[in-house]
Amino acid sequence: MKNLILFILSFVTFTTFASARTFKAIVRTESNAAKEAMVELEDLISETSFDGKHFKIVKGKSDEAIAFDASEELVFKAATTYYHLTIARNYFINKVKSDFVSKTEKMVIRIEHTNQFSELGHHANDNLDPQFNNALTVPAGVGLASRGVVPWGSEIWFRPQKKINIKDLNTNNLGSQQFKVLMRDFRNQIHMQSLQKFMLGVATVLVSGSSRSNPFSLDSLMRTAGSSLVMEFGYQFIDPITKATSRKWYWLDTAMIPEIIYHEYSHAALSDHLVLSHSTAIIEGMADFFAGQISGSPQLAKHIKKYNTFNGKNAKKKQDYAIQFEMSDYANTDFVFGMLWEIKNILGEEKGEAFMFDLRKRLTTNSTIRGELIDGLLQTCDSVCDQPFIDKIRILKALNLRGI
């Protein structure tokens, strides 16, 4: 009898562990609004924390996985991040058959992490410009034994949100001149760190200037600066709980926005060829493209069509494409994203998707739009397209119509 009870107990324990655990997470509705739902998390290897076969979700600099009995808010965030990372990983393995991703080591995912990234020290000093409202994928590092910094693998960092009310911002005479400086800062910054500063700048301009007569609406500013369409899309669905999304506030809870999670994971998944040394229009445009594919949202596709800066002869418009931004930053990100999206549509959904995944082999982080990207598109067509001669003509025609 005792043995039977032990047997049943071990069976119960085993089945509890083997069955997927359900958690509350943010998901998208058909119309792409954000909502709370109960989701199953796959491949957890811990019974008490967000430690899985492929992802370990930690808070800040900690190396311990977040416990299931942590605060409700933290668990909600960890579950949402884990859930969407799993979707992104499954996409790369099952849909585009990435050998690299299937062999990728387990990743540490940091949420609520404010430290800057340091190539030598992993986490920069706590006092050095803490980060909010953005996300970042960091490359692996060898560590610094003399300082006790152990080696680390590629990681994704999600910053905590920080609500910035336009009214609370310091408006010290920041006018159009300062705005130019802010725009330059935006372009010089890497990745989404820049979005926060940029948005701060926008908010400041809106306060200091006449917001109504200001020709730069929040939307048009985001567009002109070439920030990602996917980001902007995510920004429109920020707060599913209070639905308090307001143009008077700015914040981005990046660990809760599926498209941003997909974008960051795409950086890691494409890093077999697009190394994570710095941000360029190519690397951001490619990550956005795959974020769009993973989300598979018809609403997002509509949004891309509506706002696509690649519509029209855009390479001739400085605000959409500028050659001097080719290498140094991602001001042309939307241009690249729009171009890739349009070529996918020319080739057809399935073919186009496989094409873009193959394209990464012919690109590097330092590729230029007019140089290696165009060459890469044509070379990829030679190896992937069904009718390379005809399809290359179609691609060239589309590029030519757009001024490239």
What lies within 8 Å, CB to CB, of 366 at 6+ separation is 280, 327
Closest CA to 399 of 305, 336, 328: 336
The site map against Zn ion for 229-268 (x = CB under 5 A) is: ----------------------------------------
Report, in Å, the least distance between residue 274 CB and Zn ion. 10
DSSP class per residue in 94-145: IIS--HHHHHPPPEEEEES--PPEETTTEEPPTTS----S-EEEE--B--BG
Report, in Å, the least distance between residue 266 CB and Zn ion. 8
Report, in Å, the least distance between residue 284 CB and Zn ion. 5
Size of site (CB under 5 A) for Zn ion: 2
Q: What angle, rounded to 10 degrees, do the helices at 193-208 and 176-188 form?
A: 170
Report, in Å, the least distance between residue 219 CB and Zn ion. 21
150: left (phi over 0), alpha (psi -120 to 50) or beta: beta
Alpha carbon 321 to chain centroid, angstroms: 21
Task: Indicate the residue among 284 and 334 with the shorter CB distance to Zn ion.
Answer: 284
Closest CA to 290 of 108, 34, 40, 87: 87
DSSP class per residue in 368-379: -IIIIIHHHHHH
Task: Indicate the residue among 232 and 284 with the shorter CB distance to Zn ion.
Answer: 284
What lies within 8 Å, CB to CB, of 123 at 6+ separation is 61, 115, 116, 117
Give the pair of three-digit tokens for residue 171: 């408006």
First to last CA, the chain: 79
Q: Tell me which H or E stretch contains 28.
A: strand 21-28
Q: Tell me which H or E stretch contains 56.
A: strand 55-59
Task: Indicate the residue among 253 and 284 with the shorter CB distance to Zn ion.
Answer: 284
Task: Indicate the residue among 206 and 286 with the shorter CB distance to Zn ion.
Answer: 286
Report, in Å, the least distance between residue 207 CB and Zn ion. 29
Closest CA to 365 of 376, 354, 355: 376
Report, in Å, the least distance between residue 252 CB and Zn ion. 13
The site map against Zn ion for 272-291 (x = CB under 5 A) is: ------------x--x----
Report, in Å, the least distance between residue 388 CB and Zn ion. 31
Task: Indicate the residue among 50 and 91 with the shorter CB distance to Zn ion.
Answer: 91
Task: Indicate the residue among 193 and 204 with the shorter CB distance to Zn ion.
Answer: 193
Task: Indicate the residue among 195 and 385 with the shorter CB distance to Zn ion.
Answer: 195
Report, in Å, the least distance between residue 225 CB and Zn ion. 15
Task: Indicate the residue among 51 and 155 with the shorter CB distance to Zn ion.
Answer: 155
Task: Indicate the residue among 204 and 271 with the shorter CB distance to Zn ion.
Answer: 271
Alpha carbon 105 to chain centroid, angstroms: 20
Report, in Å, the least distance between residue 15 CB and Zn ion. 41
With 0-12 CB in 10 A as exposed, 13-18 as middle and 19+ as buried, what is 215?
exposed
| Residue 261: φ, ψ to 5° | -60, -45
Other CB atoms within a 10 A radius of the CB of residue 80 amount to 26
| Residue 155: φ, ψ to 5° | -130, 160
Going from the C-alpha of 313 to that of each of 319, 320, 354, 398, the distances in angstroms are 12, 10, 27, 10
The site map against Zn ion for 293-312 (x = CB under 5 A) is: --------------------
Report, in Å, the least distance between residue 24 CB and Zn ion. 27
Task: Indicate the residue among 284 and 329 with the shorter CB distance to Zn ion.
Answer: 284
**Chain positions contacting Zn ion, by CB under 5 A:** 284, 287
